[in-house]
Structure 1
Amino acid sequence: MTVTTRFAPSPTGYLHVGGARTALYSWLLAKRHGGNFVLRIEDTDIERSTDDAKQAILDGMNWLGLNWDTGPVYQTDRFDRYRELIQKLLDEGLAYKCFMSSEELDEIREAQKERGEKPRYPGTWRDRTDHPEGEAFAIRFKNPQEGSVVFDDRIRGRIEFSNTELDDLVIQRSDGTPTYNFCVVVDDWDMGITHVVRGEDHINNTPRQINILKALGAPVPDYAHVSMILGDDGKKLSKRHGAVGVMQYRDDGFLPQALVNYLVRLGWSHGDQEIFSMEEMIELFSLDAIGLSASAFNTEKLIWLNQHYIKSLPASEVAHHAKWHFEQQGVSVDSGPSLESVISIQADRVKTLKELAQISAYFYQDFDDFDEKAAKKHLRPVAKEPLSVVKDKLMAITDWKPESIQAAINETAESLGVGMGKVGMPLRVAATGSGNSPSLDITLNLLPKDKIGERIDKALTFIANRENS
């Protein structure tokens, strides 16, 4: 048997964190067993499905690195297949036409609620043959009225539903469109899905889907229902907890490796290990190691992981994702030092790629103003002489490398009889625009010598203007 899993989102919004974790678990299960991962877009809700949402799902999956083997398959392309099987069930007496209006059904359900009963369709048209001519009808599946549906959930254990709890499900609406629960069943059958990994909110759909599978003579896949993700406050994860859509994490400066590593640990574990490469996840993943309890999303933990990956991944890999953030801030990195070299000296100083782009712009473009606080403290009249002397020494360097730059700074401090900070801090503000940067020798080494001269001149002009104001 080839293990075949699927991720089947509805394109009614962004790819959210819970869906991304489900996709990851399904993907890992398929990869772990050398199987097939299907991406299926469940777009039968035509009114709410949008092209933008479809693209957001594809973008999110691609960014996370969850490549699919089959798909994307769109349910709206398969309506003929659904109708063919609905007609088969009608012909075999396993489905029937229901002429009850939605208003009539609403009245029945309200009356059931008032009597303290579970609202449900009462089977009015199940065995009737007096079909009115020309009136709209839905098609309902004849759910068995005796026995139980029992399945062994791979996470939650044995689950049983009495068929008396299940009413006759609509499988085709009165407008002729098939419904979610029927399309899912047909797709899982046709695509050879062996394992369905999805959220616990689908547990109540499972017995209905199993009964339809059996009516069609289709094999029943293994089911694994994962618990929900909660916010830090113990409530269901939502926008009030911060970013929920996967691409918002990209926009906020997180690496996909960090988010994937974080998501896999929201419910699954392998001992006390926290850091996993994708290869390790594939090798170690199993449904048996997924816990039953809901998981709480902890942004601080995600930030910690992001810092780890910014520092530990090859700079070229970080640069691939970081370039987008520079572009978003209007900074071109096509001229200037290699992005890899900037990352290598800035990685320890940032939590996100967005922050990396913000504090590294001076490597690629001139700044209009000096940081106000840093300039007030360090670009004072007393800094004029150190800046002038160090500029001369820096411009005289013929071999522009960190050792030569550091020597020029040291010689300036010695010749003026001042501490290193009296030279280094004004120079830092002049060269970078702020009072924070990696060590000056390696920072200046990544900038052209003439650019340093221009920026020192700018700082000296700033000091002169300050004196005269």
Structure 2
Amino acid sequence: MTTTRFAPSPTGYIHVGNLRTALMNYLIARKAGGTFILRIDDTDPERSKEEYVDGIKQDLEWLGLQWDRVERQSERLDRYNAAADKLREMGRFYEAFETPTELDLKRKKQLNMGKPPVYDRAALNLSDAEKDALRAERGNGVWRFKLDHERIEWTDGILGDISIDASSVSDPVLIRGDGQLLYTLASVVDDTEMGVTDVVRGSDHVTNTATQIQIIKALGGDCPRFAHHSLLTGPQGEALSKRLGTLALRDLREAGVQPMALLSLMARLGSSDPVELRTDMAELIDGFDINRFGAAPTKFDEQDLYPLTAHYLQTLPLDAVAETVAGVGVPADLAEAFWLMARGNITTLEDLGAWWELCRDGAEPLIDDEDREFIAEAMALLPAEVDGETWGSWTKAVKEATGRKGKGLFMPLRKALTGQERGPEMAALLPLLQVIKARG
């Protein structure tokens, strides 16, 4: 069975970069009728916060990305320690004691010599007595996985055939000196024991994937199918990393972005398929193909979300927004007519309030000097009671009486009634304006 996972760290809220990973893994699982695991990477007790765990779940629920089960890495520390013991027994795990300064000096020396700046494995030559002395002086060392110096190869679902020389990569640290288990080990153990078959993540993890493949094999596990999506940039190609905090999903939600608008964009962004609004999850699932995504950096512009949101709102019946419509004060008997009038003229639901204010309170007439006599004559012809046919019959009567036509007829009337040059169809808006005025 296809099994995927989304493994966020609860050290902050989900942003658009995280969402891309979550959505791709979700769609792969759902398209195959498989399992989608929400795995909370909370092995760092100092940085992990329960409020962020709750926030992650709330954001996924808002988007409709429902997980099949939740796993927490903080509850699986015994499994990671058992794996570490196994690697020690195999001679694939060793303790190293260099300080950050010492490692930096080694890297600079290697670069000056034209060599790759990888860890030189000096710790493998330490005697037990030397290790004891270093522990007494510096405390516990870090634990590194000893890579086999061979080519690590796999066929990536997005990048194609990948081949990395393990000798060009430092032996990865899997446990810090303070005993903190790092993601690389925990993820391998989880993917193996949870039967994860497909892993999609950012292209910045490619080298990490290479080392994890060796760790998986050392522990006797089966390697998942890996795919590494491109990283997002800003609309001008600038790095998004510093702005991701302002692109948290909860901020986009607060700004009125609709879930299907966000999902429609993120499910196609960076692929060879055009971005098209999808109105339900089934359409997204059916149309998703990981192989259609490319490796080039992908431009993300949050402004693209608003036309999609507006388009989505235009598809909704009153039932889908009844609570919001009522919340701005629209009486129940006017709700249907109001929504049908307004939905084509809003970007987000927040815009409904302004249209209701216009219907309820009217607007300061916008009348050019040359139109004052025309407007006075037109208003005298406006019936006391109006309905959906009134705009057409009234403007016909005004045309016959004044000789005006086209824009010279319609624009001054719109500006006088609404104080605006653009807006909803006047045939739909006029009855609402007049009904509210008559009630008032």
TM-score normalised per structure 1: 0.77
Answer yes or no: is the 8 Å Cα contact 1:96–1:140 preserved in 2: yes
Distance in 2, matches of 1:151 and 1:419, equals 73
Answer yes or no: is the 8 Å Cα contact 1:409–1:423 preserved in 2: no
Q: Per the alignment, do residues 408 and 283 of structure 1 end up closer, same or farther by CA in structure 2, a change over 3 Å counting? A: closer
- Aligned residue number for residue 165 of structure 1: 168
- Aligned residue number for residue 356 of structure 1: 351
- Aligned residue number for residue 61 of structure 2: 62
Q: Per the alignment, do residues 175 and 253 of structure 1 end up closer, same or farther by CA in structure 2, a change over 3 Å counting? A: same
Distance in 2, matches of 1:242 and 1:426, equals 46
Q: Which is worse superposed, 166-175 or 192-201?
A: 166-175
Answer yes or no: is the 8 Å Cα contact 1:444–1:452 preserved in 2: no
Structure 1 residue identity aligned to 2:143: R
SS at match of 1:402: coil
Distance in 1, matches of 2:192 and 2:334, equals 51
- Aligned residue number for residue 344 of structure 1: 340
1:29 Cα deviation from its structure 2 partner:
0.8
Q: How many residues end up aligned between the 2 structures?
A: 433
1:156 Cα deviation from its structure 2 partner:
1.5
Distance in 2, matches of 1:86 and 1:241, equals 34
1:220 Cα deviation from its structure 2 partner:
0.9
- Aligned residue number for residue 76 of structure 2: 78
Distance in 2, matches of 1:239 and 1:99, equals 33
SS at match of 2:236: coil
SS at match of 2:132: coil
Q: Counterparts of 1:42-441 in structure 2 under 5 Å? A: 42-71=41-70, 73-126=71-124, 128-130=127-129, 131-132=131-132, 135=136, 136-237=139-240, 244-270=247-273, 274-277=276-279, 278-298=281-301, 302-317=305-320, 319=321, 323=324, 332-333=328-329, 335-336=331-332, 341-350=337-346, 352-354=347-349, 356-362=351-357, 366=361, 370-371=363-364, 374=366, 390=382, 393-394=383-384, 397=385, 401-403=387-389, 406=391, 434=420, 436-441=422-427
- Aligned residue number for residue 437 of structure 2: 452
Distance in 1, matches of 2:20 and 2:162, equals 23
Answer yes or no: is the 8 Å Cα contact 2:261–2:278 preserved in 1: no
Q: Which is worse superposed, 78-87 or 429-438?
A: 429-438
1:310 Cα deviation from its structure 2 partner:
2.5
1:173 Cα deviation from its structure 2 partner:
1.2
1:3 Cα deviation from its structure 2 partner:
0.4
The C-alpha deviation readout for 1:203-236, integer Å capped at 9, x for no partner, is 0101111111112111111100112223332333
TM-score normalised per structure 2: 0.81
- Aligned residue number for residue 32 of structure 2: 33
1:300 Cα deviation from its structure 2 partner:
6.3
Distance in 2, matches of 1:242 and 1:412, equals 58
Distance in 2, matches of 1:311 and 1:413, equals 32
Distance in 2, matches of 1:241 and 1:190, equals 32
Distance in 2, matches of 1:145 and 1:424, equals 78
SS at match of 1:233: coil
The C-alpha deviation readout for 1:380-416, integer Å capped at 9, x for no partner, is 79867866885xx53xx5xx7434x559956995999
Which consecutive residues of structure 2, in runs of 5 or more, have no partner in the other structure?
none
Answer yes or no: is the 8 Å Cα contact 1:336–1:447 preserved in 2: no
Q: Per the alignment, do residues 43 and 433 of structure 1 end up closer, same or farther by CA in structure 2, a change over 3 Å counting? A: farther
The C-alpha deviation readout for 1:269-310, integer Å capped at 9, x for no partner, is 45x684445323322322222223333335565444334323
SS at match of 2:186: helix
Answer yes or no: is the 8 Å Cα contact 1:228–1:236 preserved in 2: no
Distance in 1, matches of 2:76 and 2:413, equals 67
SS at match of 2:76: helix
The C-alpha deviation readout for 1:212-267, integer Å capped at 9, x for no partner, is 11121111111001122233323333567996333333333332212211222212
- Aligned residue number for residue 462 of structure 1: none
1:35 Cα deviation from its structure 2 partner:
0.5
Which consecutive residues of structure 1, in runs of 5 or more, have no partner in the other structure?
456-469
Distance in 1, matches of 2:25 and 2:257, equals 22
Answer yes or no: is the 8 Å Cα contact 1:424–1:440 preserved in 2: no
Distance in 2, matches of 1:262 and 1:389, equals 49
Q: Per the alignment, do residues 382 and 444 of structure 1 end up closer, same or farther by CA in structure 2, a change over 3 Å counting? A: closer
Q: Compute the RMSD of aligned alpha carbons.
A: 3.9
SS at match of 1:21: helix
Answer yes or no: is the 8 Å Cα contact 1:335–1:364 preserved in 2: no
Q: Per the alignment, do residues 386 and 423 of structure 1 end up closer, same or farther by CA in structure 2, a change over 3 Å counting? A: farther
Q: Per the alignment, do residues 179 and 452 of structure 1 end up closer, same or farther by CA in structure 2, a change over 3 Å counting? A: same
SS at match of 2:195: coil
Q: Per the alignment, do residues 452 and 168 of structure 1 end up closer, same or farther by CA in structure 2, a change over 3 Å counting? A: same
Q: Per the alignment, do residues 360 and 58 of structure 1 end up closer, same or farther by CA in structure 2, a change over 3 Å counting? A: farther
Answer yes or no: is the 8 Å Cα contact 2:261–2:277 preserved in 1: no
